[in-house]
Amino acid sequence: MSEERHPAPLGGGPADGAPFASGESGIVAGVRANVRTRLLDAALDARRAATLEPWRLRRAAAASPPRRRVLVLGIERTDRENLMAQARTELLRSRHEVEIATTDVGGRGKWENLNLLLADHPAQGRDWLLVIDDDVELPRGFLDDFLFLAERFGLRMAQPAHRRRSHAAWRVTRRRGGSVVRETGFVEIGPISAFHADTFPTLLPFPDLRAGWGLDAHWAALAHARGWPIGVVDATPIRHVLRPIADSYKREEALAEARAYLAGREQVTAEQAQRTTATHRGWR
C-alpha cells in the first residue's frame, strides 16, 4: 500500500466573507468547461482501467468488510426531475443489508426532514448511515467499493469524490489521480455524506437546520477533537450535475443560518477544510 502523509497545521483565513465557506461556486458550466472536464474524467478513468483498479477493488470489496447494516436517508424534490430512483437501484445491488428511506421536501429544510426520517428509521443498530441528495449519479458497484475503502482506512466520516465534471464547491472533494482515499480536514454536507456508527452519539439527531451550511465545518472540528479519521474516497467518484448547488434556497439566508448556528461552536476554517493530510494510493 502506497501512502503519503501531509502536515496539517491549524490556522487559516476566511473565504467568501465567512470562515466556513469555500469562496467558490464550483458549478461546471459552459461548453469549454464541460469539454475540458469530460476529457479530464476520461483520462482519469483510463488511468484507473490501465492498472485494473476497478476490477481489483471490486474483488476486494466482495470479501471485506463483513456484511454491514446500512441506513440510507434521502430528500426528494418530487416537483423536479431527480435521480433518486436510479440511486436506489444502484444502492440495493450491494451485498450489504441496505434500508433506504426518502421523503418529499414538504416545505421543510433538509436537516429537518432528515430528523423526521430518523425518528421513523433509527440509526441505532446500524453500522453506517448515508445521507444522499436526489441529483447525484453513482458509479456501478458504488456502495460495496465505498464501504470497503472507508473501513480499510478507518474513516468515521466519508464522502465519495466528485468527478471533474460535477458541481462541487470544495476543491478538496474533486477526484485526484493516483489516489484511492485521501484523509482530509473536512467532509461536506452533500451530495453524499457517510457516518460510521461511532459518530452517532455525537452527531445524531442532526440540528434542525434548513440549508445546513457550516454544519460540516462543525463536524470537522468535532472529528479533529475526537481523533476520528475523515476523508474523501477518490476511487468511487460521483457526478453531481442535474441541478446547480443551492438552487432550492437563498444564499443570503443560508449564510445567515450558518453564522447563527456556528456562533460559539467549534469549527474549522475554509483553509483547514481544503487540506489533505494523507493520500492512500492503494489498499493492500
| pLDDT confidence of residue 250 | 80
| pLDDT confidence of residue 244 | 57
**Model pTM score:** 0.91
Residues 6 or more apart whose CB falls under 8 angstroms from that of 20 comprise 213, 214, 216, 217, 258, 262, 267, 268, 269, 270, 273
- Residue 16, number of CB atoms within 10 A of its CB: 15
From residue 109, alpha-carbon distances to 97, 211, 256, 279 in Å are 28, 6, 14, 35
Q: Which carries the bigger pLDDT value, residue 2 or residue 262?
A: 262
CATH topology (fold) of 10-278: Spore Coat Polysaccharide Biosynthesis Protein SpsA; Chain A (3.90.550)
pLDDT bracket for residue 15 (50, 70, 90): very low
| pLDDT confidence of residue 78 | 87
Does residue 185 carry a pLDDT above 50? yes
d(CA 130, CA 73): 6
Cell numbers standing for residue 131:
445521507
Q: For 188-229, how does the pLDDT look when each residue is reduced to its tens digit (9 = 90+)?
A: 999 999 999 999 999 999 999 999 999 999 999 999 999 999
Does residue 245 carry a pLDDT above 90? no
Residue 15, phi then psi, degrees to nearest 5: -130, 145
| pLDDT confidence of residue 35 | 85
DSSP 3-state of 142 = helix
Cell numbers standing for residue 216:
460540516
Q: For 80-107, how does the pLDDT look when each residue is reduced to its tens digit (9 = 90+)?
A: 899 999 999 999 999 999 999 999 999 8
| pLDDT confidence of residue 12 | 35
d(CA 26, CA 67): 36
What average pLDDT does this structure show over 168-182?
95
| pLDDT confidence of residue 32 | 73
Strand partners, 97: 69
| pLDDT confidence of residue 159 | 98
d(CA 191, CA 24): 16
Average pLDDT, the chain: 90
> What ranges do the domains of the chain cover?
10-278
Give which of 70, 139, 143, 135 is closest to 105, Cα–Cα: 135
